[in-house]
Structure 1
C-alpha cells in the first residue's frame, strides 16, 4: 500500500479573492509572471460576458508564452551534445534524454525537438512572437514548416518578418495560404523546381485501416488536376443530391470516384453506385431527406458555388443566394441504379465534360513579364508556369478582368468583352433599387471580398449568400457598398444569433458579437502590394478597433 503524499508536499496556496471585474490594462500587459498572477482567482460566473472573452484571450497569451519557454527548455538539453555526423541535424542523445524525462517515444521527442530548434534557434523572430503571445504554437509551426525548406536563409528570415506582423490576425488556414503565396513570389525559381520535383514523384497509395476499411490516396498530383477532379466529383454529388439521393455529399463523392476508376455506375452513364463492400451501411435518416434536398452540404456547396448547409436549413429573409453555374454539357439527366434515396433508384449525373477550374492570375504573369503566382480557387496559390499552362487551356472559358489599386484591392471588375465600368459605385441607380443586385455588382462584390466577411472564415464567396448590410426592407440599396458575402452559418449568426454588422467603407466590415466584442475584417489584396506602396502598420485596423454603433437588419419573418 503506497500512500500519496502529494497533498502534503504542496506548498500552501494563498487565498485569492474572487474578483469579478478584469482590469482595463489586461490587453497591454506582457505575457509572463505578472499576467499569470493577474488572471488567477477570478470567479468566471461573476464576470460579464465581454470580460469572459477577454480572460480567455489573456490566458491564451499566457499559454503561448509558456509553450515558447518549453521550446527553449527542449533546445537547452542539446547544449552539451554534438549533432549527428550524418548531417540530419538530430541530437540522438538529447532525444533519448527528453524521451525518458517526459515519457515520450523517441520519435515524438525527436520531432518535437526539431520543431523547437526551428522556432527558437533557426527563426528566433517566431520564438519571440510566440513568447509575447502574438501567435500561438499552431501558427508558429505553420510558419516554420513552410519557410524552413527555403534554401536562402536570409530570404527566409525576411519572409518570416513580413508575415509575422499580421500572422496573429489570420487562422492557420489563412496564414498557410498567404505564406505559400509569399514564398512563391519571393523565389519563383525555387518554388517551380520544388513543385516539378514533387509532381515527378506523383503516385497512388493504398492503406488498410484497422477498422476494416481502406484508403486510396493520390499523392503529389498537379494542382490543376486536383482542382478539376474535386470539382467534377462535387458536381456529380450535387446532381445526385438534387435528384433526391439520400447519401451525404462525402459518400456520393467517394462512390463517384470508385465508379469512375472502376468503370461502373457513373462511368458508363448510370447512377452513382453504392459502394459498401456488401455490408449493410446506413446512410442516414430517410426522414431528413426533404431538408437534405433543399439544403446541401456546406463543403460541397462551397466547392460547387451553391448555398449551404444541410444542418442549417433556415434562410434569412434578407438573402441573395448565388445561382448555379451553368457549364456547357452539364445537364442533369436521370439514370437507374442503386444510388437513389431509400432504394428508389432515382439518380442524376452531369453530362460528360471535363472538370472545371477557376483561375485568378495577374496579367503580367500571363504575358511572362513577372513570375507572380496565380490562384486556383479551391486549391490555393500555384507557381507562374502552372498558372500560364492552365490559362492556355481555357480556350472556351469565360474571362473576367479585375482592376486593382496600388494596395492590391479590387476597384473594378467585369467580363473582358465589356468596357470597364465602376461596378463598385455606391450611387443608387434604378437597378440598385431592386432587391437582387445586378450580375455585374454581384460579381464585383465576390471579387472584392473573395471569402465570407466574418472574422477568420474562409468559405469562398461563390458559395455564400450576398447579404445587405442595411436591410433592403429598411432602405438599403443593392449596391456594392451595401453588400457582402456571408456563408450560411454567419448569415444566421447575424440574423438569429444577435451579431451586428456595419460596412463603414466598401469591403470593410465591422462586427459586434452578442457578447459585445468588436472586430474589423478587411478584404485581402488580390495581389500583394509593392513594398513602397504597402500601408504602414498603423494603417491596418487592429482586431479590437472601435467601430460606430451598428445598424441591424429587420428580423426575418
Structure 2
C-alpha cells in the first residue's frame, strides 16, 4: 500500500531507497580501501623504524647511531609524505609500537572488526598496561570496541587498563607531574595557543579562579553601568576605553571598536600584580563589552605579564625578589613603511608567525634599541647589520637573514638555533656569512651524523641532498619589504 501523506513522501520512493542502498555499498567499499591503505602505511612506517635499527646494529654508540639513522630516514620519507621530518619520526615510532606491541589490535583492524579510531584509543590507553598483560587487555578492548564508536569506549577501556596496572594511580601521578610543562602553538591571524600541561587539580583550579575573577569583573561592570545610567556620568576623556597605554593594543579591540582592557581591574603593577586600567573618571568599565571568555583571557594575560610569583626564591628578608621584574624578550622584524604607518602589512615574530602592524608599532615604541638591516636592492637579501649595542654583528646578521632553522620544513626560531659551517672549518671552510647558516640542534646533528649533504649558494640559498639523491632547495626567507632604485647607489652614499 502506497502512502501519500507527508511522512511517506518524505521517506522517498523505492528508487530513492535503491540509490541510497548503492551509496551505502559504495561507502562500504571505500571504507575497506581506506582501512587497507592505512594498515599498509602503518606497516611501511614500522619497517622504516626497523631499517634504522638494523643500520646501527654494528655501531659502537648504538643508541645515538640509531637516532641519527632514524632522523635521516624520517627526513627522506618526509619529502614523499609532504610533512616535516619530526612528524614522520613520531609517526614511525607510533607505527612500530602498534605493529610490535599490539598484534591483536592490528589483526582486528585488518579484518575490519574495528576502525582506526578504535586503534588509536587502544594504543593510547594500552600503554598503561604491563607488557605481559597487554594481550589480555587487547582481547577485552577489541570486544568492547566492536559495534561502538571510539569516543564511547574510551573511558571504559581506561578503567580496565587502570585495574590491570600493577602500580597505584597516586604513584604514577607523582611521576607524571614531573613532566609538567608550558608550550606555545602558533595559529592563524597572529594568534597562538598557550598550552600548560599541569596536574588536573591545578589546571581546574586555575580555570575556576579565572572564571570567578571574570564573573566579578562582569558583575561589577553591570553595577557601574547601572550607576552611570542613574547619574548620567560619562568618561571624562570621552574615549570610551579603559586600557592602559603600552599594553592595550596587544589584544586588539572589543566589539565597540575601542581598544579592549586587559584584566579590566584597577591597580598598578605593584597592586596584586595587575596593570592599571582605570579610566579618566576612575572607572574600569567604560566602553567594556567583552564576553566572559575574553575577560578570562585578559585576566590570564595580566597575571602572567605583570604579576609576581607567590613563591620567589630570589626574595630576601622583607624585600621583593627579582622574578616580578623579569619581562618577555621577543625578536620582531618590521618594515620601515609599517613603522611609519604607511601600510598595515604584518610584521614577523621571528621564527614563529606574523603579528599585526598595530602590535608591531606598539612594541617598537617601547624598544630600548634597534637593529638596522641593509638589504640587496633587488633580491632583498640581508647584506649588513649594525646595532647601537655591543653584539656579535655576524650572528645578528644571520639571525636576521635566516629567521629560522634552514633545514627543509623546520621552523625552529633562529634565536634558538646554532650557527653551522656549511663547509666544516676543519675542512677549510671560512667563518663567513657565505659559509654559515642557522640549524637547530636536531638538524645540526642530522647534517653531521647522517648522509644528508648541503651546499650554500650566493644569497644564503641552501641546497640539500638526501641519502637517496632527492634535492631540496632552501631559499633564505624573503624580506618583509625590498626597495629598488633606478641606479645603484654611488660610492660613499649612505645605505639608507
For normalisation by structure 1, the TM-score amounts to 0.34
For normalisation by structure 2, the TM-score amounts to 0.38
